[in-house]
Amino acid sequence: MESAIGEHLQCPRTLTRRVPDTYTPPFPMWVGRADDTLQQVVMGYLGVQFRGEDQRSAALQAMRDIVAGFDLPDGPAHHDLTHHIDSQGYENLIVVGYWKDVSSQHRWSKSTPVASWWESDDRLSDGLGFFREIVAPRAEQFETLYAFQDDLPGVGAVMDGTSGEINEHGYWGSMRERFPISQTNWMQASGELRVIAGDPAAGGRVVVRGHDNIALIRSGQDWADAEADERSLYLDEILPTLQSGMDFLRDNGPAVGCYSNRFVRNIDIDGNFLDLSYNIGHWASLDQLERWSESHPTHLRIFTTFFRVAAGLSKLRLYHEVSVFDAGDQLYEYINCHPGTGMLRDAVTTAEHST
């Protein structure tokens, strides 16, 4: 059994683990592995927001335009497409791209076709909302966990492979302890989420600045190849409780430190639903994410169910990835999105900030 933390990222611990060195996990799990050439990844959430059937065709075409841009030089190494309806009843299509390094993503986003599309006045007048939420954790600032070993989704798709069975899972606090940085750093949040350009209430272009150690979780479910018993397990037992927890975070996030929560369904390029889904949750800090996951009844029921069935899973694929970021490695930008979108909801305006 190996550590979730790759050998080249290990260092003498100054912060102790929550379990003894003799701890043995109750079932096998794995993490994504990358060599020391991977220094920093980029996760880009590029969204199209619309409301009503009359806008659906234009929204899907805008999503396809974004995807087509990924074929340009320095496009992401992996991407997927999602759909969700937010708390205000707006539909959102999100193209999620992953890059293995910051420089290639910067070159892509600054390229003339990409920059001119995003900066065009057409984005202000075509009747749709757009957003880009781009974060770039260093190798020591993210962790992964998979109940399977092949075809890793999300950030795992840009890594080199999968670990052997890992030790740091199956107990409260294990998520934190899979972060390489957790060996010496509490990852405490500092600063505030703040609007630095534009006015969310007025629409148009709005830019939000993040703060140190915002946490992002992507927690996924893949039942595409599951047989009848596992499909029933997910759809009849896991999903109802999961949906309840995700709705709670969507509607009550400020009370628990969750800036934004989206429970999304994967789609194909034509907008057809696939048998995959995941949660996209931005949190004010990792410790607030931990506190909710360890105490809220909906998550405790999910965790208990997973513990009960994990060892017997065959085709039902469950996973997550969690990251934290320095303030300078985040970009949140919105065009004609409603003020409850993403990080807009909880960001303070300049006027609020100055009081």
Q: Which residues pair with 49 in a beta bridge?
A: 92, 129
pLDDT range class, residue 353, cuts 50, 70, 90: very low
Nearest to 288 by CA among 123, 209, 175: 175
The Cα 125–Cα 173 span in angstroms is: 47
CA angle 172, 176, 178 (to 5 degrees): 105
What was the pLDDT predicted at 354? 38
Q: Mean pLDDT, the chain, as a whole number?
A: 93
Read off φ and ψ for residue 268, nearest 5 degrees.
-95, -175
CB-count burial class (<10 Å; 0-12, 13-18, 19+) for 27: middle
Burial 303-331 (b: 16+ CB within 10 A, else e): eebeeebbeebeebbbbbbbbbbbeebbb
State percent of the chain over pLDDT 90: 82
For residue 289, the model assigns a pLDDT of 95
pLDDT at 257: 94
Selected catalytic residue, list 78, 169, 320, 338: 320
| Residue 300: both structure tokens together | 């405790």
The pLDDT-based confidence of 310 (bands split at 50, 70, 90) is low
Neighbours of 217 (CB within 10 A): 20
Mean pLDDT of 115-120: 95
Model confidence band, residue 209 (pLDDT cutoffs 50, 70, 90): very high
Rounded to an integer, the average pLDDT of 143-151 is 94
Residue 77 pLDDT > 90: yes
Do strands 203-209 and 330-335 pair parallel, antiparallel, or not at all (unpaired)? antiparallel
Q: What percent of the chain has pLDDT over 70?
A: 97
Mean pLDDT within 211-229: 94
Contact 156, 100 (CB under 8 A): no
- The CA distance from 17 to 258, in Å, is 25
pLDDT tier for residue 355 given thresholds of 50, 70 and 90: very low
Give tens-digit pLDDT for 264-301. Answer: 999 999 999 999 999 999 999 999 999 998 887 877 87
Residue 237 clears pLDDT 90, i.e. is over it: no
Q: How far apart are CA 304 and CA 285, in angstroms?
A: 24
Q: Which of 127, 153, 102, 94 is nearest to 330 (CA)?
A: 102
User: Is 299 marked active-site?
Assistant: no
**41-50, 62-71, 100-109, 342-351: least confident range:** 342-351
155 pLDDT more than 80:
yes
